[in-house]
Amino acid sequence: MGRLSVRRRRTGTIAAVSALGMTAVLGGCGLGGGSDEVTLKLVAADYGDSSANSSQKYWDKLVKEYEAQHPGVKIDVSVYSWTDVDRKVKELVDAGKAPDMAQIGAYADYADKGLLYKADELLGIREQADFVSQLASAGRINGMQYGMPFAASTRLLFYNKALFAGAGLTPPTTWKQLAADAEALKADGVKYPYALPLGPEEAQAETMQWLLSGGGGYVDSMGTYGIDSEENVATLNWLKDDLVGKGLTGPVAPENLNRAAAFSAFAAGDVGMLNGHPSLMKIAAAKGVKFGMVPMPGAEGRTKNSMGVADWMMSFRQNGHAEQVGDFLDFVYSEKNVLAFSREYDLLPVTNSASGAMSGDSQDADLKPFLNALPSSELPPVDKTSWAAVSAAVKKRIGSAVSSDGSPAEVLRALQLTAQKAE
């Protein structure tokens, strides 16, 4: 790549970078080697599940190729686990040492504080237009793109083919059928007929998928929080009475079951059905579990909107390296590199060009059902600075709503008040 064209900034000034990267530094920080060399610092999340496929290896390979084409630019990448990466970036920002780029789970708070470049100050028009539309939209605040989608996934209902065949079942398309299938699996001695992970690890995602399947969601069509809507209350009441209350969700209470444990149980052959994202395919296949995937059942039929998830790339203004950051990100978002990352970690491409290439390639056939769900997917309200607080509250409280003595209406009302206060 290395598109080193002249970029016109919104201010009307023009910044140019020569083919050797011999440029006047746009800010006083980030220098290395000599006055004509720029070092860009990137903090990124680790998508690997072992040292063998750590994201550090992905970035090291990509950076080596980029630096070979750009002798005047160095890229310093630090990769942290998802447990630590958001906190690490916050610590750096709070200490006045913001990285040039961060690839993490949320961008809105930094954008709201005026700390981030807008995408059109970094990327070329072609690169901006290549982002998948609903992912790009989720990265905008007041119409301005601050969060650049980096990785995406959707959710489907996974089912164990052997367990379903043994019970003479077909994949459900409605809640009623899902409950009936779960009853049959329970009668066959299946440990978790439907695994419902509403523990603190990722309860906000499982909850959103169910809210969407009931015709609701965290926000209404105008983007206003509507957590305690009639549709949402009805959805959680159904879960409490028709699934959890009938003993169809296994021996661990949903509020104590985390996603990782549910995935492990599925890979062990102990789960009949659960919501999953693409990485579950590899986990299950490694254990020899034969599985199928279908859209999430809805109250009356298949759910119209799957839940989508995106992680974000952002660039901080502090060091002033907009030109060099933009050129590096053009390289990062090239079709070749987006495809390489998506295939390495079983994730969906965030660009139309890479999505088109993946759709037509037989080696990506296993990801196609997730890819097909992406255009109609709905993302959490990540453009709201309040979402972090709301998500944390959902993780902490939603599991109790479906417990034997829980009240969906009361819990959802409390979450709605939390959301309104956070706004």
Asked if 310 contacts 105 with a C-beta cutoff of 8 angstroms, the reply is no
Asked if 344 contacts 58 with a C-beta cutoff of 8 angstroms, the reply is yes
In this prediction, residues 116-123 reach a mean pLDDT of: 97
pLDDT at 261: 94
pLDDT at 15: 32
Bridge partners, 40 (sequence order): 75
- Domain ranges in the chain are 7-153+309-375, 156-305+386-422
Q: Say whether pLDDT at 305 is over 70.
A: yes
Q: Say whether pLDDT at 197 is over 60.
A: yes
DSSP count for the chain of H helices, then E strands: 17, 14
Query: E strands of 5-52, at which residues?
Result: 7-8, 14-15, 31-32, 34-45
Question: In this structure, what token pair is assigned to residue 24?
Answer: 């006047």
Tell me which of 115 and 32 has the higher pLDDT.
Answer: 115
Tokens 């969060």 — which residue? 147
Q: pLDDT tens digits, residue range 221-234?
A: 888 999 999 999 99
Q: pLDDT tens digits, residue range 367-392?
A: 999 998 888 899 999 999 999 899 98
pLDDT at 221: 86
Distance CA 136, CA 332 (A): 16
In the structure, what pLDDT confidence band is assigned to residue 145 with cuts at 50, 70 and 90?
Answer: very high
| Two domains, one topology: 7-153+309-375 and 156-305+386-422 | yes
Distance CA 47, CA 391 (A): 21
Q: Mean pLDDT of all residues in the chain?
A: 90
Query: E strands of 165-214, at which residues?
Result: 192-194
In the structure, what pLDDT confidence band is assigned to residue 357 with cuts at 50, 70 and 90?
Answer: very high
State the DSSP H helix or E strand holding residue 160, giving kind and residue range, or none if neither. Answer: strand 156-160
Q: pLDDT tens digits, residue range 156-195?
A: 999 999 999 999 999 999 999 999 999 999 999 999 999 9
DSSP assignment string, 93-123: HHTT---SEEEES--HHHHHTT-B--GGGTS
Residue 76, SS3?
strand
Q: CA nearest 241: which of 397, 395, 407, 394? A: 407
Residues of the chain with pLDDT > 70: what percent? 91
Q: CA nearest 196: which of 177, 184, 215, 182? A: 182
pLDDT at 394: 96
Q: Say whether pLDDT at 25 is over 80.
A: no
CATH of 156-305+386-422, one of 3.40.190.10, 3.10.20.310, 3.40.50.300, 3.40.50.360: 3.40.190.10
In this prediction, residues 24-38 reach a mean pLDDT of: 49
In this prediction, residues 263-270 reach a mean pLDDT of: 97
pLDDT at 29: 41
Q: At what angle do helices 322-332 and 55-69 cross, to 10 degrees?
A: 120
**Beta-strand pair 291-294/73-80:** unpaired
Q: What are phi and psi of 290, to 5 degrees?
A: -85, 125
pLDDT at 329: 97
DSSP assignment string, 300-354: SSB-SS-BEEEEEEEEBSTT--HHHHHHHHHHHTSHHHHHHHHHHHT-B-SBHHH
In the structure, what pLDDT confidence band is assigned to residue 35 with cuts at 50, 70 and 90?
Answer: low
pLDDT at 9: 34
pLDDT at 95: 97
- Assigned CATH class of 7-153+309-375: alpha beta
Q: pLDDT tens digits, residue range 198-216?
A: 998 889 999 999 999 999 9
